[in-house]
Amino acid sequence: MDAVVQFTSQSQGRDRIFRATQYACALSIYLLRNKIGRKELVVKLKSLEAAMSAGRKLFRLGNTINSIEAAKRTMQLSDRVLRLCLTAANMTRALYFVCDNALWGRNVGLIRDINKERWSLNASRCYFASLVMSLSRDVYVILQLMSQRARDRHFRQKMDAHLNENPEVAGVVIPQLDAFLFLLLEIIKSQPAVALDTLKNICDLFIPLDRLGIYRSNAGVVGFCGLISSLIGIVTLAQPKFKIKP
């Protein structure tokens, strides 16, 4: 119970609970949209989804400063690739929050002279750019871990034994590809933080892809991907050992 209280007392914790609820509603609305006896429930879910979205915008008012501070920290990283990817991800995320805050101000009537559609499109572009840079970091970290593991003598013996035990597979599939997949699976199993962050970013990527028209899916796919990424976010916040570093 203490862990639950501590989690919900954090603004990030409340935001992620709201986000999970929002996308759960979106997914449920999509699944129930053609159910004749569920129209009243769909109306209630739409109202709840809108309330969760509005609440999240309020929680995110201070996130621009947080992202800028995070960018300042990542600029001090010694690894040039990580420094570039994470700094770019944090700065584009900061721009996303600027657009998001402006949209919130427009919705509550504090700001009037802005084009809501244009600012929403710019927010999606910044969100997309941030996710691309975050995914680039994930791929780089995975490749680095794979390179380190491949140089380990004991692991190479294990991988050779795996290939020798499956000669029929190695004969059909390119041996190098089989070894690559074996190595990749080992990294995913041994580094859950990296695997979860990669999965989260991939799921999140469907949201701006759909909004920008780059890859059209549907409300069900967006709701499902948003729900999965939200649940991963809750897990990583509740259990810091599953959060990728840096």
Helices marked H in the chain: 2-9, 11-32, 39-59, 63-74, 80-108, 116-150, 153-165, 167-172, 175-190, 192-211, 219-238
Per-residue pLDDT at 5: 46
- Secondary structure class of 240 (helix, strand, coil): helix
CA nearest neighbour of 188 among 146, 132, 245:
146
Per-residue pLDDT at 180: 83
Predicted model pTM: 0.88
Cβ contacts of residue 58 below 8 Å, gap of 6+?
104
Per-residue pLDDT at 97: 95
Per-residue pLDDT at 3: 55
Q: Give me the average pLDDT of each 10-residue run along the chain (246 residues).
A: 53 88 96 89 95 88 91 96 98 96 88 89 97 97 90 72 59 63 88 96 96 93 97 94 90
Per-residue pLDDT at 61: 83
Per-residue pLDDT at 175: 60
Cβ contacts of residue 77 below 8 Å, gap of 6+?
83, 86, 246
The number of domains in the chain is 1
Per-residue pLDDT at 6: 55
Task: Report yes or no: 92 and 141 within 8 Å, Cβ to Cβ.
Answer: no
What is the C-alpha to C-alpha distance for residues 118 and 192, in angstroms, rounded to an integer?
38
Cβ contacts of residue 62 below 8 Å, gap of 6+?
11
Task: Report yes or no: 93 and 126 within 8 Å, Cβ to Cβ.
Answer: yes
- Domain of residue 208 covers 2-242
What is the C-alpha to C-alpha distance for residues 141 and 139, in angstroms, rounded to an integer?
5
Per-residue pLDDT at 164: 67
